Amino acid sequence: MILRSLKEELGATSYPGRGIVLGKSDDGQYLVMAYFIMGRSENSRNRVFIPDGDGLKTKAFDESRMTDPSLIIYAPVRVLGEVTIVTNGDQTDTVYDTMKQGGTFEDALRTRTFEPDAPNYTPRISGLAEPREDRYRLSILKSADGDPSSVRRCFYEYTAPKAGRGHFIHTYQGDGNPLPSFEGEPAEISLKGDIDAFTEEVWNSLNADNRVSLFTRYIRLSDGKTETRLVNKNQ
C-alpha cells in the first residue's frame, strides 16, 4: 500500500483549518504528535502557542487586537500521567477531568458537541497518545452536513500502529462559506525522519498566508521521554 505523505495530504485541501496528526515514527521508537492552527480572520491569526508545563496553551499575540477570545483561547495539549491529550478546543479540559476521575476519552467526548459558530459548526477534533499501551485514539464531533440539530460522534482507536505510519484529521474539508466539515475517516499517511524533519514538513506544507502555529511532540515508547517543538508565525 502506497501512502501519501503529510505534504501531499495537506496539498489536497486549500484550508484544513485546525489539524491533529498521531502516529509512530519510522524507527518504531516514538509516538508522533502534531497540532496546528490556521486562520483567515485577524482575530484567528492573532495567536501564538506557548508552553504550559508539560502542555500547551494559546495566547493572543497582541492583546489589544483580540476581539473575541471564545473558541480560540484554550489549552490544546494537557498531560495526565503517561497520556497526552490534544484537541482543538476546551474539550481538552473535559477529557482531562473525566479521565482523572476514572472515565474514558470516549465518555468525556460524549458530553460535548461541535462548536456553536454558526453557520460553520466547526467540528471538535481530539486525540489521545498512550505510549504504555502503544496506542493512540482520534475523535471528531461534527454536525450532520451542517444541520445543528444532529451531531455525529466518531471515534477511532489504533493499537500497535505500524512504524512510519500515522493518521491525520482536520476540521474542514476545504475552503468555503460556510466551511465544510471534515469527511470520512482520518487519512492514513507516511511518517519519516526525526522531530525536526517532521516539524519542518508540517510547517512548510501549510498555506503560508493562513498558517498560525504548530506544536509537535515525539514520545519515546520505552520510557515516555518527550521532545517538543513549537513554531509561531507571529514573533
Q: What is the CATH number of the domain that holds 177?
A: 3.60.20.20
Q: In what order do the strands lie in the sheet with 77-80?
A: 47-52, 55-60, 77-80, 83-87, 124-130, 135-144, 147-159
**Strands (DSSP E) found in the chain:** 4-5, 19-24, 30-38, 47-52, 55-60, 77-80, 83-87, 124-130, 135-144, 147-159, 165-170, 187-190, 211-220, 226-232
**Helix, strand, or coil here: 63?**
helix
Number of domains in the chain: 1
**N-to-C CA span, the chain:** 41
For residue 145, what are the domain limits?
Answer: 4-232
Q: Strands 187-190, 4-5: parallel, antiparallel or unpaired by DSSP?
A: parallel
Angle at 186 between CA 181 and CA 191, to 5 degrees: 130
- Cα 67 to its chain centre, rounded Å, is 24
pLDDT in tens, the chain (235 residues): 789 999 999 988 889 999 999 999 999 999 999 999 999 888 899 999 999 999 999 999 998 888 888 888 999 999 999 999 999 999 999 999 999 999 999 999 999 999 999 999 999 999 999 999 999 999 999 999 999 999 999 999 999 999 999 999 999 999 999 999 999 999 999 999 999 999 999 999 999 999 999 999 999 999 999 999 999 999 9
Q: pTM here?
A: 0.97
Grid cell of 152 as nine digits: 455525529
Q: What is the DSSP string of 99-125?
A: HHTT--HHHHHTT--S---TTT-PPEE
